[in-house]
Amino acid sequence: MNKLIFLSFALFCIMGSFTVSAQTAKKETAASAAPMIEAYYFHNTARCVTCRAVEEEAKADLQSLYGNQVVFKSLDLEDKATKPIAKKLEVSGQTLLVVKGSKKVNLTNEGFMYARTNPKKFKEIIKEKVDAL
């Protein structure tokens, strides 16, 4: 009788373990299936003050708004390693691009208009456009 109770208890524990691990795996798959947001700032090697401000403000704003949900990459267009990424994203010049899955938002014009003169407005535009992705 004691053996039967012990065996039943052991079997119950093992089955419970499988259920918990299956639920955990399902949650991890759902989290990893959500497309990551990537922000790319393509620039030339020689950059003006505004070019640097666009990068600094965009990076800071994306980090403060979205934290680890966004990966920011600053890429030099004159670097050969950058060319395949630029070609894939159809970029040929200085560009601030936010990508989520197959959706892209080009924030270059807004960046150059507001990064130095009105950073608050630039942050609002970033939030509006990225939230729409």
Q: Judge whether 40 and 97 are in contact, CB under 8 Å.
A: yes
Residue 28 and residue 42 share a domain: no
Residue 106 and residue 41 share a domain: yes
Report the pLDDT value the prediction gives residue 68, as an integer from 0 to 100.
Answer: 87
User: Which of these, 112, 128, 104, 115, lies nearest to 38 by C-alpha position?
Assistant: 104
Residue 42 and residue 29 share a domain: no
Q: Mean pLDDT of all residues in the chain?
A: 82
Residue bearing tokens 């955990």: 24
Please state, in angstroms and rounded to a whole number, the distance separating the CA atoms of residues 120 and 30.
34
Residue 91 and residue 127 share a domain: yes
* pLDDT, tens digit, 9 for 90 and up, residues 38-88: 999 999 999 899 999 999 999 999 999 988 889 999 999 999 999 999 999
Report the pLDDT value the prediction gives residue 14, as an integer from 0 to 100.
Answer: 63
Residue 9 and residue 73 share a domain: no
Q: What is the CATH number of the domain that holds 111?
A: 3.40.30.10
Please state, in angstroms and rounded to a whole number, the distance separating the CA atoms of residues 123 and 102.
23
Report the pLDDT value the prediction gives residue 96, as an integer from 0 to 100.
Answer: 94
Residue 73 and residue 55 share a domain: yes
Its domain, for residue 56, covers 37-131
Is residue 7's pLDDT more than 90? no
Residue 99 and residue 42 share a domain: yes
Residue 83 and residue 27 share a domain: no
Is residue 124's pLDDT more than 70? yes
Task: Look up residue 102 and give its amino acid.
Answer: S
Report the pLDDT value the prediction gives residue 101, as an integer from 0 to 100.
Answer: 87
Task: Look up residue 78 and give its amino acid.
Answer: E
Report the pLDDT value the prediction gives residue 132, as an integer from 0 to 100.
Answer: 87
Report the pLDDT value the prediction gives residue 98, as an integer from 0 to 100.
Answer: 93
Question: How many domains, the chain?
Answer: 2
Residue 44 and residue 22 share a domain: no
- Give the residue ranges of DSSP H helices in the chain: 2-33, 49-66, 83-88, 108-114, 119-131
Residue 103 and residue 47 share a domain: yes
